[in-house]
Amino acid sequence: MSTHAPEDLAAVLAAYATHLRAERNRSENTVKAYCADVRDLLTTTVPADEDGTLDLGVLGLADLRAWQNAAAADHGRSTLARRAASARSFTSWAHRTGRIDADPGLRLVGPKRDRHLPRVLAQSQVRQALEPAVRARRDLDDPVALRDGAVLEFLYSTGCRVAELTALDVADLDRENGSARVLGKGARERTVPLGRPALQALDAWLGHGRPQLAGPDSADALFLGVQGRRLDQRQVRTVVNRAVAAVPGAPHTSPHGLRHAAATHMLDGRADLRSVQELLGHATLSTTQIYTHVSVERLRSAHRQAHPRA
């Protein structure tokens, strides 16, 4: 028998979201994705009583499998793997908190995530995408161009995630040591080095661009929109998409694509895997190893140097 008081869907999701944030240290993007999956799961498989409360005890393994199978035709392996992870996380939490008597998610198996990367920008393509940033630093008269240049240089120099970039405050920069403090997934803090072009772009933005956009709502946010508020992730995606779209032959690229490019180009330059792991903020080395699969030039070079019949 469930030992928990009856709850409606909103109350269940609110409690689960609090668990993800407070106990699991999940990022806000993960919380939103997991809660969206669980909302879909519960509205599909658990009927509400007349007063809106849910009897989570009716949720079984067959329901989880049917819910997952219904999505198989419309979603890729990565999405299906995340849905399975969401369901397992939810049923585990519901069991521990007395909302259900047994955990049906223990036996739910999802597909393995795709372990491949999209096409990665070549170094020459990155240089072309960043050329407007270089011009903006010479002219110093367009605050938005200075900001966009600093955003692009920072993303490529550090390989940071877009959520990490938009959360940055001015105080997170250490100009003297050429680094920045970044808060990553699971509230893990790391320090990332900044290359000379990134430092120059940040200096131009802070000295000439940011003061023109700053307003009452700016607080200490490092990157600002034209309204003076903290730059959001959608705006950063627009900045990256616009810069890369201007490069002939370049693949469609998101901010995460610049992260892929930074990691791949470091490996091409003979960086060791552990250093790239630390730069990207990966919790495990296995996550970073995916980038070795696309570092073709490094592999070819090693093959030419070492193979007896190269």
**Residue 108 confidence (pLDDT):** 93
- Please return the burial class of 163, using the count of CB atoms within 10 Å of its CB with bins 0-12, 13-18 and 19+: middle
291 is catalytic: yes
Question: Any idea which of 99-108, 109-118, 156-165, 202-211 has the lowest mean pLDDT?
Answer: 109-118
Residues 105 and 90: their CA atoms lie apart, in Å, by 8
For residue range 217-228, list pLDDT tens digits in order.
999 999 999 999
What pLDDT shows up at residue 76?
A: 83
Give me the pLDDT at residue 166, please. Answer: 94
Q: How many CB atoms lie within 10 A of CB 200?
A: 17
Give the CA distances from residue 61 to residues 45, 87, 145, 273, 296, in Å, rounded to whole numbers and listed in that order: 11, 10, 53, 40, 43
Choosing from 99, 137, 282, 298, the catalytic residue is 282
**Residue 95's pLDDT band (boundaries 50, 70, 90)?**
very high
- Sole residue written with tokens 């036996």: 107
Choose, from 83, 95, 230, 259, the residue flagged as catalytic.
259
Core vs surface per residue 2-16: b (16+ CB within 10 A) or e: eeeeebebeebbeeb
pLDDT (tens digit per residue) in 245-271: 999 998 888 898 898 889 888 888 888
Q: Is it the case that residue 145 has pLDDT exceeding 70? A: yes
Q: Is 113 a catalytic residue?
A: no
Is 190 a known active-site residue?
no
Among residues 21, 65, 229, 256, which one is catalytic?
A: 256
Give the pLDDT band of residue 160 (cuts 50, 70, 90): very high
pLDDT at 240: 94
Active-site residue flag, 259 = yes
- Supply the pLDDT for residue 136: 83
Element containing residue 10 per DSSP (H, E)? helix 9-22
Q: What is the pLDDT of residue 267?
A: 83
> Which of the residues 65, 185, 190, 229 is marked catalytic?
185
Q: Note the pLDDT of residue 114.
A: 58
Q: Is 88 an annotated catalytic residue?
A: no
> Going by C-beta distance under 8 Å and a sequence separation of 6 or more, which residues neighbour residue 118?
251, 257, 260
Q: In three state form, how does the secondary structure of 192-210 look?
A: EECCHHHHHHHHHHHHHHH
In one-letter notation, the amino acid at residue 264 is: T
Q: How far apart are CA 190 and CA 237, in angstroms?
A: 23
**Domains (ranges, CATH) in the chain?**
7-107 (1.10.150.130), 123-304 (1.10.443.10)
Q: What span, in angstroms and rounded, lies between the C-alpha atoms of 105 and 68?
A: 12
**Among the options 16, 19, 291, 298, which is catalytic?**
291
In angstroms, the CA 21 to CA 24 distance is 6
Percent of the chain at pLDDT above 70? 89
* 265 carries an active-site annotation: no
Catalytic residue among 82, 95, 137, 161: 161
Query: What pLDDT does 280 receive?
Result: 85
Q: Is residue 19's pLDDT more than 70?
A: yes
CB-based contacts of 73, cutoff 8 Å, min separation 6:
none
Calculate the alpha carbon distances from 90 to 10, 197, 250, 256 in Å. Answer: 14, 45, 40, 28
Section 42-61 average pLDDT: 91
Which helix H or strand E contains 179, and what residues bound it?
A: strand 179-183
pLDDT at 54: 93
Residue 295 — pLDDT band, cuts 50, 70, 90?
low
Whether residue 1 has pLDDT greater than 60: no
In angstroms, how far is CA 255 from the centroid of its own chain?
9
Tokens of 263: 């990691």
Determine which of 23-27, 77-81, 258-262, 293-297 has the lowest per-residue pLDDT on average: 293-297
Report the pLDDT value the prediction gives residue 303, as an integer from 0 to 100: 56
Angstrom distance (rounded) from CA 219 to CA 57: 47
pLDDT value at 102 more than 90: yes
Look at residues 120, 111, 186 and name the one whose alpha carbon lies nearest to residue 156. 120
